[in-house]
Amino acid sequence: MDALESFVASPAAHDLLAIVKGARNGLVYGVKIRFPHALVMALLFHKGDWKAKATFVLKATKSHALNLMKFVTAYKTLMLLQRKVNGGKERSLDTFVAGALGGYMTFGERTAVNEQIVLYVASRVLASFLPRASPVPPRPSVASGQPAGPIRPVPPAAVPFSLFASVAWGMVMWVFRNRGETLQGGLVNSMSYLYVDSDHWKNLKTLLWHNK
């Protein structure tokens, strides 16, 4: 256990473990967000018996949580890879590239859950260009991660939505990194949990069990 704690605290392992914690935070946040929403929707609108309602809730929660975990993993991995290629330096466009590729790979399929998430992200990007009476408090700096697997082929009919998802995620990641004060406060808090908090831990407990 002492050797494991020492590895977790090692600066040499930080970039790799930041991806691990990012995946953990994505999974946890996806469950926290989707489960209560799906439960309310099932109770109010979903037809069928309790088993069918429970299946609907679990399926929607699983889809949201796993895709968010995959996106955070892909984004942080791609950010790390780009930094490695550029001699340890991060360029402004890196966040857009990582967000766009991550969005295409994980949210490019047009399912009900993915469409809802992509439309939410796109609306927040558009709203970020509207002036705000009181700006959101500045967010902490964000670190990064390393690439995901190859992009799987998408049927021609799905291409427009896949490209829309890609651009939406690329834009929201760029805006978060470069103009975070223009985003809606709730989204900033969510993204800080996923992409900022996952770069910090003190021990094995705060790496895998507790966020802080």
Residue 149 lies in a domain: yes
Residue 8 lies in a domain: no
Residue 180 lies in a domain: yes
Please give the tally of structural domains in the chain: 1
Residue 3 lies in a domain: no
Residue 11 lies in a domain: no
Q: Looking at residue 148, what is its pLDDT?
A: 42
Residue 5 lies in a domain: no
157 CB burial (10 A radius; 0-12, 13-18, 19+)? exposed
Q: Is 31 helix (H, G, I), strand (E, B) or coil?
A: helix
Residues in the chain with pLDDT < 70? 132-158
- Cβ-based neighbour number of residue 3 at 10 Å: 7
Q: Looking at residue 135, what is its pLDDT?
A: 52
Q: Looking at residue 149, what is its pLDDT?
A: 45
Q: Looking at residue 7, what is its pLDDT?
A: 79
Residue 25 lies in a domain: yes
| Distance between CA atoms of residues 71 and 53, nearest Å | 27
> Mind listing the pLDDT tens digit for each residue in 99-143?
999 999 999 988 888 998 999 899 888 888 777 665 545 555 444
> 3-state DSSP: the chain helix, strand, coil percent, rounded to 5?
75, 0, 25
Q: Looking at residue 158, what is its pLDDT?
A: 66
Residue 66 lies in a domain: yes
| Distance between CA atoms of residues 209 and 212, nearest Å | 9
* Residue 208 and residue 202 in contact, taking contact as beta carbons nearer than 8 Å: no
Q: Looking at residue 113, what is its pLDDT?
A: 87
Largest CA distance in the chain: 58
Range of the domain at 65: 16-208
